[in-house]
């Protein structure tokens, strides 16, 4: 592809060299650069791509795109200066892959909690209507039923465009994606137009990255400036703020969903069971939906999915069917169901105070015996939520076991000590080793008890100081049972 075509729509200055060059591929990792490639200097958390210009040239780069003033001695190398290399990377990806997101309908979901469940619900609804669907998210990326491994919730902009391109080539009509605050702040979705943007809720998370709650909110809000249809949770205080800020911008196509406030998609007549829930929504007429995962918070997730698909003109039968049959890995997931245990074991990704409260209150609603909670907090992350989670876990559960999550570079016991600061009751035990904590809960569980293992959900690994180990809680539960 010609360099001029790759730079279409980008504000740049040619510092040296020619624009009349054929380009093999685009890279921001100097180690992956090959002959006739573009190397884009990205400033990351840990390092700065400008430091690797010479390495990229040695590997064959013929074009360097930078935002700092760095002299390149070899005058055969084309040097292009831009104001922001992250934005340039996003637009170059769009040009290089021929703007694949324009060839699908993109549905973006942002918020602290509920993104994954809402995404899986929308995928299920669209597939019930016979559509081929791509999904980009926390658990994995999917092209139809093909599961692809993922490193982060939203890929870097170049990989995102490549993934969009693969989806288009495989006949995907709709792409549902979780849009993280990191990806919005770091311009990974810059230049992508969303047919629908959904706001689930906003609670304390990722302040290790964003520093202030205002920054966190502003990152999330960016999605709705780029969306055609906006579906907003009007029961959430920050959802109300999103609506207010969109109205200031005179934005159109704003639709609200709720259980308490008046809205376009308001749930009523909710009936909660231990295995499912039902609720009604007034659309053209009164419609009833049955959801096979419990918890009031999942009604909110379902409303976001219903609202989006209704505005995309998906038939009601497909919406009902998709909502009813959805399965979300690691979200209120019952495990070891084939062992006929006298107690239940639930695995859930809850890793924020709000998320932990939601899953424990839901489980409390159908627990006939004792509620046993196993939880910890991740290392190298926002420390303020640790005591909050300690208080929530011990206030709602009958028995709490405080353990390790993904300690990363921190000492596991230091994290646990931070959690214990918030605990006011004596109904807890500390077991640092997560497998031992799960075993202890299973050893003490009696008939009609419910064990909630919170924090990891779909994850199949544990990140320690010096290594990442395989750690699948479904496998661990099975192993403990088989060893008995």
Percentage of residues of the chain with pLDDT beyond 90:
91
Q: Which pLDDT value is given to residue 179?
A: 95
Annotated binding site: 30, 111-117, 153-154, 180, 188, 381, 405-408, 455, 459
105 and 85 in a common domain: no
Domain boundary among 285, 300, 325: 325
Mean pLDDT for the stretch of residues 76-103? 98
178 and 42 in a common domain: no
Q: Is the pLDDT of residue 149 over 90?
A: no
Annotated binding site for meso-2,6-diaminopimelate: 381, 405-408, 455, 459
Q: Is the pLDDT of residue 114 over 90?
A: yes
425 and 464 in a common domain: yes
Q: Which pLDDT value is given to residue 225?
A: 95
> Any residues with CB less than 8 A from the CB of 264 and at least 6 apart, and which?
255, 256, 257, 307
Mean pLDDT for the stretch of residues 283-293? 95
Mean pLDDT for the stretch of residues 34-48? 93
Mean pLDDT for the stretch of residues 341-369? 96
104 and 221 in a common domain: yes
109 and 247 in a common domain: yes
Task: Give the count of domains, the chain.
Answer: 3
Residue 215 confidence class, pLDDT cut points 50, 70, 90 = confident
* DSSP letter assigned to residue 409: T
| Residue 406 contacts residue 379 (beta carbons within 8 Å) | yes
Q: Which pLDDT value is given to residue 44?
A: 84
- In this structure, the number of other CB atoms found within 10 A of the CB of residue 467 comes to 7
Mean pLDDT for the stretch of residues 272-288? 94
The rounded mean pLDDT for the chain is 95
d(CA 86, CA 91): 9
Mean pLDDT for the stretch of residues 311-325? 98
Residue 153 confidence class, pLDDT cut points 50, 70, 90 = low
Q: Is the pLDDT of residue 209 over 70?
A: no
CATH number of the domain to which 68 belongs: 3.40.1390.10
| Residue 63 contacts residue 78 (beta carbons within 8 Å) | yes
23 and 41 in a common domain: yes
Q: CA angle 291-238-455, nearest 5°?
A: 55
Among 159-173, 273-287, 386-400, name the one with the lowest average pLDDT: 273-287
| Segment 1-14, tens digit of pLDDT | 999 999 999 999 99
More confident residue, 4 or 204: 4
Residue 207 confidence class, pLDDT cut points 50, 70, 90 = low
47 and 128 in a common domain: no
104 and 90 in a common domain: no
CATH number of the domain to which 386 belongs: 3.90.190.20
Annotated binding site for ATP: 111-117
Percentage of residues of the chain with pLDDT beyond 70:
98
Q: Which pLDDT value is given to residue 234?
A: 98
428 and 286 in a common domain: no
Q: Is the pLDDT of residue 19 over 60?
A: yes
166 and 219 in a common domain: yes
Q: Which pLDDT value is given to residue 214?
A: 84
pTM attached to this predicted model = 0.91
Q: Is the pLDDT of residue 279 over 80?
A: yes
Q: CA angle 29-35-36, nearest 5°?
A: 90
| Residue 117 contacts residue 330 (beta carbons within 8 Å) | no
Long-range contacts of 411-420 (CB under 8 A, 24+ apart): 412/376, 412/379, 415/376, 415/377, 415/378, 415/379, 415/386, 416/376, 418/377, 418/383, 418/386, 418/387, 419/376, 419/377, 419/386, 419/387, 419/389, 419/390, 420/387, 420/390
Q: Is the pLDDT of residue 297 over 70?
A: yes
| Residue 80 contacts residue 150 (beta carbons within 8 Å) | no
Residue 213 confidence class, pLDDT cut points 50, 70, 90 = confident
DSSP string, 237-257: HHHHHHHHHHHHTT---EEEE
Domain boundary among 73, 96, 119: 96
Nearest to 4 by CA among 20, 17, 16, 15: 20
| Residue 453 contacts residue 444 (beta carbons within 8 Å) | no
Domain hosting 61: range is: 3-96
> Any residues with CB less than 8 A from the CB of 248 and at least 6 apart, and which?
none
| Segment 252-270, tens digit of pLDDT | 999 999 999 999 999 999 9
Mean pLDDT for the stretch of residues 324-350? 96
Domain boundary among 308, 325, 342: 325
Residue 103 confidence class, pLDDT cut points 50, 70, 90 = very high
239 and 135 in a common domain: yes
CATH number of the domain to which 158 belongs: 3.40.1190.10
124 and 89 in a common domain: no
Q: Is the pLDDT of residue 208 over 80?
A: no
Phi-psi region of 408 (alpha: psi -120 to 50; beta: other; left: phi over 0): left
d(CA 172, CA 226): 21
């Amino acid at each position: 592809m010609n360099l001029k075509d790759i730079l279409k729509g980008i504000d740049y200055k040619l510092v040296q060299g020619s624009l009349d060059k054929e380009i093999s591929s685009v890279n921001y990792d100097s180690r992956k650069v090959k002959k006739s490639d573009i190397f884009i200097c990205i400033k990351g958390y840990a390092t700065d791509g400008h430091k690797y210009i010479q390495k990229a040239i040695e590997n064959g780069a013929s074009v360097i795109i930078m935002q700092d003033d760095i002299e390149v001695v070899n005058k055969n190398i084309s040097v292009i200066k831009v104001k922001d290399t992250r934005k340039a990377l996003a637009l170059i990806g769009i040009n290089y892959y021929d703007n694949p997101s324009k060839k699908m309908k993109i549905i973006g979901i942002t918020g602290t909690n509920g993104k994954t469940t809402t995404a899986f619900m929308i995928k299920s609804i669209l597939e019930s209507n016979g559509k081929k669907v791509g999904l980009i998210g926390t658990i994995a990326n999917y092209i139809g039923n093909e599961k692809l491994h993922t490193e982060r919730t939203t890929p870097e902009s170049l990989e995102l465009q490549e993934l969009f391109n693969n989806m288009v080539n495989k006949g995907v009509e709709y792409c549902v994606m979780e849009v993280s605050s990191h990806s919005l702040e770091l311009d990974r979705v810059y230049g992508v137009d969303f047919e629908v943007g959904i706001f689930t809720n906003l609670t304390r998370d990722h302040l290790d990255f964003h520093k202030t709650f205002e920054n966190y909110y502003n990152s999330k809000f960016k999605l709705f400036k780029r969306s055609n249809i906006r579906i907003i949770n009007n029961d959430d205080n920050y959802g109300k703020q999103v609506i207010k800020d969109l109205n200031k911008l005179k934005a159109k196509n704003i639709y609200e969903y709720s259980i308490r406030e008046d809205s376009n998609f308001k749930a009523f007549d909710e009936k909660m069971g231990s295995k499912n829930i039902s609720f009604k929504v007034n659309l053209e007429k009164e419609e009833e939906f049955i959801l096979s995962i419990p918890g009031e918070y999942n009604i909110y997730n379902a409303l976001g999915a219903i609202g989006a698909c209704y505005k995309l003109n998906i038939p009601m039968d497909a919406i009902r069917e998709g909502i009813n049959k959805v399965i979300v890995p690691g979200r209120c997931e019952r495990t070891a169901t084939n062992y006929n245990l006298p107690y239940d074991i639930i695995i859930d990704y809850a890793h924020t105070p709000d998320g932990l409260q939601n899953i424990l209150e839901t489980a409390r609603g159908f627990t006939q015996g004792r509620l046993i909670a196993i939880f910890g907090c991740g290392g190298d992350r926002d420390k303020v939520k640790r005591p909050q989670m300690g208080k929530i876990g011990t206030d709602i559960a009958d028995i709490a076991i405080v353990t390790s999550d993904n300690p990363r570079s921190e000492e596991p016991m230091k994290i646990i000590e931070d959690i214990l600061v918030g605990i006011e009751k004596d109904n807890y035990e500390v077991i640092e080793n997560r497998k031992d904590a799960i075993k202890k809960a299973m050893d003490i569980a009696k008939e009609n008890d419910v064990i909630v293992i919170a924090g990891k959900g779909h994850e199949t690994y544990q990140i320690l100081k010096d290594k990442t180990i395989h750690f699948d809680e479904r496998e661990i539960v099975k192993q403990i049972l088989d060893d008995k």
